[in-house]
Amino acid sequence: MAERVRFPTRLRPHAKTHKCSQVAALQIEAGAIGVTTATVWEAAALARAGIGDILIANEIVGPAKIARAVEAGSAARLTVAVDAIDNAKDLSAALADADSEAGVLVDVDIGMGRCGVRSAAEALEVANAVSQLPNLRFDGVMGFEGHCSLEPRRDKRTRLTRAALAKLLETAEHIRANGIPVETISAGGTGTFDLTGTDPNVTELQAGSYAFMDTAHAAVVSGFDFALTVLATVISRHGSTVVLDVGKKTLGLETPAPIIPTTPSSIRYVAEEHTVVDLEGVQSMKVGQQIEVVPSYCPVTVNLHDAYLVVDDDVVVDVWPLVARGAGWSSGDAIR
Ligand SMILES: Cc1ncc(COP(=O)(O)O)c(C=O)c1O
């Protein structure tokens, strides 16, 4: 992916896909400028593990999360997303107390209707406020075209993405026209990488899922291999129906269904602890046999596991912990 983005865009892969410092380090070695995270927990854990440049592409609200962001900022170059002036003030105060600083991207809603300011005028107000607040550095704008990235029809995906990016770029221009430099324009996912990642105005691409791929993203983009599978055991067979010991608690589940690349088959359903598979044709799959299942949506799958078994040529060569999995508690937090 680092090679497929086109200058001046650089890759800042979303680490929610893997939550693992070893994968993040490989991405940086391959040319990424740092990583993106969704949570302060991911940012703090990856910063502690030595990842040096982190964007939290999400609003950080409340003293506990802000404290975590400040912790991440003490170990890495930190940038955060903001869509409200009060939130910027809270971040500024906490960073000042810690004698630390963070970059800020004003988060712009470019069509998803999730977080983000709703207009260029509002973005300018937030950018102005951020520029004047101590310990914050206004760097630019970000948006996420999540409503476009899994659109299966290429022409519609292109049209929607161009419209979403136009909104982000117009916002950046409005801020610039009012005398505030905008250095960073950050956006993009795997499904839009070749549109957003080749736009001459976009400086950072936040795509994440490409690293492992899954059935949701393979339905939209090609050219990236499946790298993450869940190892399942056949626990029951009746005719052409096979039952696997993986389910929603190990595979996770989104759409489309998971697949078993090595075996002609279709997945009838995924339950809590079982997956029921219909084999196609005559096959000698026995109870006890192990097979690899490609999940629907890796970011949800990985969060159900503690570690990766790293396989090279069918041999487990390493075990990499998911340092940032789960809801975000750690020994430093009081759990009541
Ligand atoms: C803000 C943001 N940026 C980037 C991404 C990465 O998208 P993908 O997993 O399709 O690569 C996401 C995914 O949800 C996101 O929420």
CA of 84 to the centre of ligand 1 (A): 21
CB 40 within 8 A of CB 55: no
Q: Residue 330: its pLDDT value, please?
A: 55
Q: Which residues of the chain have pLDDT under 70?
A: 329-336
List, in sequence order, the alpha helices (H) in 231-313: 298-302
Strand segments (E) across 60-200: 77-82, 102-107, 136-142, 184-187
Q: Residue 329: its pLDDT value, please?
A: 60
The whole-angstrom distance between residue 227's C-alpha and the CA centroid of its chain comes to 16
User: What number of residues does the chain have?
Assistant: 336
Q: Which atom of ligand 1 is nearest to the CA of 149?
A: 10
Q: What is the pLDDT of residues 233-260, one digit of tens each?
A: 999 999 999 999 999 999 998 889 999 9
CA of 151 to the centre of ligand 1 (A): 14
Q: Residue 177: its pLDDT value, please?
A: 98
Other C-beta atoms closer than 10 Å to the C-beta of 255 total 10
Alpha carbons 317 and 260: distance in angstroms, whole number: 23
Alpha carbons 305 and 318: distance in angstroms, whole number: 15
Which pTM was predicted?
Answer: 0.95
CB 202 within 8 A of CB 293: no
Alpha carbons 234 and 286: distance in angstroms, whole number: 7
| Residue of minimum CA distance from atom 13 in ligand 1 | 189
- With pLDDT > 90 as the criterion, what percentage of the chain qualifies? 94
Q: Which residues line ligand 1 (CB under 6 A)?
A: 14, 17, 36, 57, 144, 146, 149, 189-191, 206-209
CA of 207 to the centre of ligand 1 (A): 6
CA of 13 to the centre of ligand 1 (A): 9
Tell me which of 59, 79, 141, 144 to substitute to probe ligand 1's pocket, judged by most ligand atoms within 8 Å of the beta carbon. Answer: 144
Q: Residue 100: its pLDDT value, please?
A: 97
